[in-house]
């Protein structure tokens, strides 16, 4: 999970900009940080060849690390590394690849944010039939959603919260989570949005939106 690093009043970063509130940076200030991170990324062949280093893409890594360029760069490196190490999930991030799970209403996003401004994701484990869908496909659903909603500025600022409805969880689900997949999942949890939280329960939420809505 992308954790927040506290910013002190007047703190100087490696490109010399004092920060009072990272969420209130002007567009010109953002461009300076983005340019600095892009310069670092373009020096790494593994990154520059793999990704389109647009402003919108880079700024989400900066916001996740409160515009600390060094930490943002490390996060970007880990992101690229994870995508290479887990092609079973990362190479086919298209809704059509998990259409059955989406139609089963396994995963959804609340239309409204919570009081803190976070996006709220819903996972209904009982809607996942392990005979029809692998754990890799299940996790790909989450990654597709995350890649879409993390484009939202408010989500970059306020993070995500996840609710897991464990009704229907059984041994056949657990058997799908092998050590290799568990390692990949734990790794990618650091490549997300800030201030993430999870909860579990049996309550059925209302107003579930489409998990594939492109809000970027």
pLDDT of amino acid 127: 92
Nearest to 167 by CA among 212, 126, 114: 126
Which tokens belong to 19?
A: 């920060």
What is the rounded CA–CA span in Å between residue 58 and residue 63?
9
Q: What CATH class is the domain 11-85?
A: mainly alpha
Q: Is the pTM of this model over 0.75?
A: no
For 135-175, give the DSSP string: HHHHHHHHHHHHHHHTTSHHHHHH-EEEEEE-TT--HHHHH
What is the residue extent of each domain of the chain? 11-85, 94-209
pLDDT in tens, 19-45: 456 666 666 778 899 999 999 998 887
What is the rounded CA–CA span in Å between residue 31 and residue 171?
50
Domains 11-85 and 94-209 agree in fold: no
Least confident of 116-120, 135-139, 177-181: 177-181
Q: Residue 202 carries which DSSP code?
A: S
More confident of the two residues 11 and 28: 28
Q: Residue 204 carries which DSSP code?
A: -
Which CATH code is given to the segment(s) 94-209?
A: 3.40.525.10
């Amino acid at each position: 999970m992308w954790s927040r690093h506290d910013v002190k009043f007047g703190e100087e970063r490696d490109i010399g900009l004092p920060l009072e509130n990272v969420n209130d940076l002007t567009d010109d200030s953002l461009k300076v940080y983005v340019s600095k991170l892009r310069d670092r990324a373009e020096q790494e062949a593994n990154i520059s060849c793999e990704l389109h280093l647009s402003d919108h893409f880079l700024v989400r890594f900066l916001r996740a690390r409160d515009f600390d360029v060094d930490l943002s760069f490390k996060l970007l490196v880990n992101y690229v590394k994870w995508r290479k190490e887990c092609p079973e999930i990362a190479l086919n991030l298209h809704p059509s690849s998990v259409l059955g799970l989406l139609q089963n209403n396994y995963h959804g996003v609340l239309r409204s944010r919570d009081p803190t401004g976070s996006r709220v994701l819903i996972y209904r484990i009982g809607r996942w039939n392990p005979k029809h869908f692998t754990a890799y496909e299940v996790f790909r659903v989450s990654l597709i959603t995350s890649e879409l909603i993390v484009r939202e500025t408010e989500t970059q600022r306020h993070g995500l919260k996840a609710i897991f409805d464990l009704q229907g969880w059984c041994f056949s689900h657990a058997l799908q989570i092998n050590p290799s997949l568990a390692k990949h999942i734990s790794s990618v949890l650091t490549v997300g949005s800030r201030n993430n939280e999870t909860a579990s329960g049996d309550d059925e939420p209302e107003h579930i939106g489409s998990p594939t809505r492109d809000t970027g």
